[in-house]
């Protein structure tokens, strides 16, 4: 289990613990202050992705580590886990409310401008926050039921190498499910730049290729958002660097031979 599961998982994966979706937690002062600042901010589109350059100082690392550790933690999850998360969100939402709000991906909005795909999901807390900020990322929000969110998810993952990440909006409150592209995903890019795990944790599993089923077609290599799936130069079969794999499952979704499965990870150092 990762550090967040130990601290906030109550004996299970922290993003599958119902307590972390509770309405009581959503209304806490910590979550309220962060969410109002987050959703109430003016997000300006810009051409391309602007990432800090140069070697970061220890002070910069400490500052970004504190921010993500306390408020905006992200962890990669599989599509199957997303379904379980959506069901949990529905259970924590009052019957009079719809469980999910589809809204533009803030990372893609910053990089590309308008984002008609409504890529990210606000979960189980729509009356508290997002209804009060209808112009977040240009507006175009859509409130849906859990079943409608599942249908939207199926269409979304057909678009391309979309990576799911469960996001806290004031740890451990799980208020957001991000569906992003790694070339513009700021938490992931922050992890790369600052050399710390807190902005973007790996999943609790890694992809594994069954050599007996692999045809060497290269679909996994083409699909992998993290560039860790390769064709072995000798046997021309797919191989995945388990140490570098983030466990997103994109390769599994694109494998025509169903040769890729997930292997659990227990070593916390590998997150």
Q: Which CATH architecture has domain 205-270?
A: 2-Layer Sandwich (3.30)
Task: Name the DSSP class of 47.
Answer: S
User: Which SS3 state, helix, strand or coil, does residue 98 take?
Assistant: coil
Stretch 169-180: mean pLDDT, rounded? 90
Identify the pLDDT of residue 62: 95
| Every domain of the chain and the residues it spans | 3-194, 205-270
pTM as predicted: 0.91
Task: Name the DSSP class of 58.
Answer: H
Per-residue pLDDT tens digits for 84-140: 999 888 887 666 567 788 888 888 888 888 666 668 898 866 666 777 777 888 877
pLDDT band at 235 (very low <50, low <70, confident <90, very high): confident
User: Which SS3 state, helix, strand or coil, does residue 22 take?
Assistant: coil
Contact (CB, 8 A) for 188 and 182: yes
Identify the pLDDT of residue 216: 93
| Percent of residues, the chain, with pLDDT higher than 70 | 92
User: How are beta strands 100-103 and 120-123 bridged, if at all?
Assistant: antiparallel
Residue 38: closest CA among 139, 127, 162, 129: 129
Identify the pLDDT of residue 127: 65
Compute the residue count for the chain.
271
Residue 75: closest CA among 206, 216, 189, 197: 197
**Residue 109 CB neighbours (<10 A):** 22
State how far the Cα of 217 lies from the Cα of 203, in Å rounded to an integer: 26
The packing angle between helices 58-70 and 186-194, to 10°, is 140
Identify the pLDDT of residue 49: 67
What is 166-215 written as a DSSP string?
A: EE-SSTT---EEEEE-TTT-HHHHHHHHHT-STTSB--SEEEEE-TTT--
Q: 79-83, 161-165, 231-235: lowest mean pLDDT where? A: 231-235
């Amino acid at each position: 289990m990762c550090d967040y599961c130990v601290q906030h998982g109550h004996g299970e994966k922290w993003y599958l613990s119902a307590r972390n979706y509770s309405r009581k937690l959503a209304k806490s002062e910590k979550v309220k202050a962060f969410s109002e600042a987050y959703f109430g901010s003016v997000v300006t589109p810009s051409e391309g992705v602007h990432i800090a350059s140069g070697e970061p100082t220890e002070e910069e690392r400490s500052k970004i580590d504190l921010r993500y550790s306390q408020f905006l933690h992200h962890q990669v999850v599989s599509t199957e886990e997303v379904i379980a998360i959506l069901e949990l969100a529905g259970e924590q939402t009052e019957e009079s409310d719809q469980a999910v709000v589809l809204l533009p991906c803030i990372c893609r909005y910053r990089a590309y401008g308008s984002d008609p795909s409504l890529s990210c999901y606000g979960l189980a807390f729509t009356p508290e926050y997002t209804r009060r900020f209808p112009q977040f990322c240009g507006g175009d929000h859509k409130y849906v039921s859990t079943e409608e969110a599942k249908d939207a998810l199926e269409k979304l993952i057909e678009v391309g190498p979309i990576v799911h990440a469960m996001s806290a909006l004031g740890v451990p409150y799980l208020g957001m499910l991000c569906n992003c592209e790694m070339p513009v995903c700021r938490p992931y890019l922050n992890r790369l730049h600052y050399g710390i795990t807190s902005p973007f944790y790996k999943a609790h599993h890694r992809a594994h290729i069954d050599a007996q089923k692999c045809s060497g077609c290269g679909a996994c290599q083409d699909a992998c958002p993290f560039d860790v799936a390769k064709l072995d130069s000798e046997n021309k079969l797919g191989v995945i660097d388990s140490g570098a794999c983030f466990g997103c499952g994109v390769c599994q979704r694109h494998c025509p031979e169903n040769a890729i499965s997930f292997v659990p990870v227990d070593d916390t150092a590998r997150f």
